[in-house]
Amino acid sequence: MKTIFKFLVLCPLLGMMACEKNDPSPDEEILQNCNVVLVEENIQEPTTWTYGNVYVIKNNISVRNVLTIEPGVVVKLKDASIDVVGGKILAVGTAQRRIVFTSIGDDRYCGDSNGDGASTTPAKGDWQQIYLNGTTETTFKYVDIFYAGKNRGGSSNAVRISGPNSVSFTFDNCRIAHTLYQESSYDSSCAFFGTSSMMDATVSKFTNNALYDNGKPLLVNVYYTLDPSNKFHNPEKPSQINTHNGIYIHHSSGGFDVTVNWNNTEVPYVLDEWHQVHPSATVNIGANVVVKFKRPTAGLNSRYGNVHLNAAAFLTSYKDDVHGGDTNGDGSNSAPAVGDWEGFSNTDVYSEWIHGPNILYADN
């Protein structure tokens, strides 16, 4: 007979460190005494992982066919990655039975799967990532992805999207948390690495997700409209955020006939390059939105007035903690200064720099 507990009952048994994370919400069913299934082979044919089992992965595997994961399934990993190459994952959980990808040392889910008692606890970077590389219609709903980010080829991610052949996916009501962040690999170290190919929100569906206790939570294309239903804090513990809390946007030379809305107000958007908006594109920067620029060479160029900046929005320095919080994660060790970024310009017949009370610390 399988044993199911509510998480509040388990807290005294697991210690205060696990409970403080508040990952499982109080109404979730937490399965204990699971059957341990060691996964050592690639997924070459249609496969279903079933409720009641914990699937343990210690070496990289690839998914080359359809892998269906039932609600409530737990997957534990050590050092490994799951590469979805030519196949797809259909992981559809429920609010009561979430699907969990976590560390082999995480005893909160399915108990002590590695059989070492309390000798190990989960840590950021215990496993690598879920890598979507040549897959369509992969679906994650009510899925938790915890303690990933082990270095892989210079990148630290929980989820990594590779190229235009992998951008047809759904992530909905997922939690991505406790991902290892490496400052030395800043540009490629973020919990969800959407890459420059993630442009169309009707194809790359990313809604109602929570990202917290990561470094950089998210990187998407500059022309991607991120749904405001996504959260950048722990819903069960709102003070738990990300150390470099922001929506990091990747400059792209595309954007033909695209309208993009930057309308998330919980965290700032961050650009670290000069972005010249395509002449046929439109960028709408909404009220109370903050856009930060990371480098002295970063900035924004409007073509024929196609960047619409709301009077209540701010363009400012990455070091500006007053607007959008401590996005660079250094506390009070840095302060904004004029010249931190290049500026906001408009090109019509001639180019001109745009100024205003909501454009701060630009060089021009």
**DSSP SS3 for 11:** helix
Task: Return d(Cα 326, Cα 331) in angstroms, integer.
Answer: 6
58 CB-side CA count, 13 A: 7
* Residue 249 DSSP SS3: strand
The closest of 229, 222, 225 to 254, measured between CA atoms, is 222
Would you tell me how many other CB atoms lie within 10 Å of the CB of residue 19? 17
CB 121 within 8 A of CB 100: no
80 near 96, Cβ under 8 Å?
Answer: no
Q: In the structure encoding, which two tokens stand for residue 310, read together?
A: 């709301």
Residue for token pair 């792209």: 252
At 109 the pLDDT is 95
Backbone φ and ψ for 160, nearest 5 degrees, come out as -130, 130
Give the pLDDT score at 131. Answer: 97
Are 342 and 299 within 8 A, CB to CB?
Answer: yes
Domain boundaries, the chain: 3-250
Nearest to 148 by CA among 216, 102, 83, 185: 102
DSSP letter (8 states) at residue 187 = G
From first to last of its 364 residues, the chain has per-residue pLDDT tens of 444 544 433 443 444 344 445 677 767 887 788 999 999 999 999 999 999 999 999 999 999 999 999 999 999 999 999 999 999 999 999 999 999 999 999 999 999 998 888 888 999 999 999 999 999 999 999 999 999 999 998 889 999 999 888 999 999 999 999 999 998 776 789 999 998 888 999 999 999 999 999 999 999 999 999 999 999 999 999 999 999 999 999 987 788 899 999 999 999 999 999 999 999 999 999 999 999 999 999 999 999 999 999 999 999 999 999 999 999 999 999 999 999 999 999 998 678 999 999 999 999 9
Look up the pTM and report it.
0.92
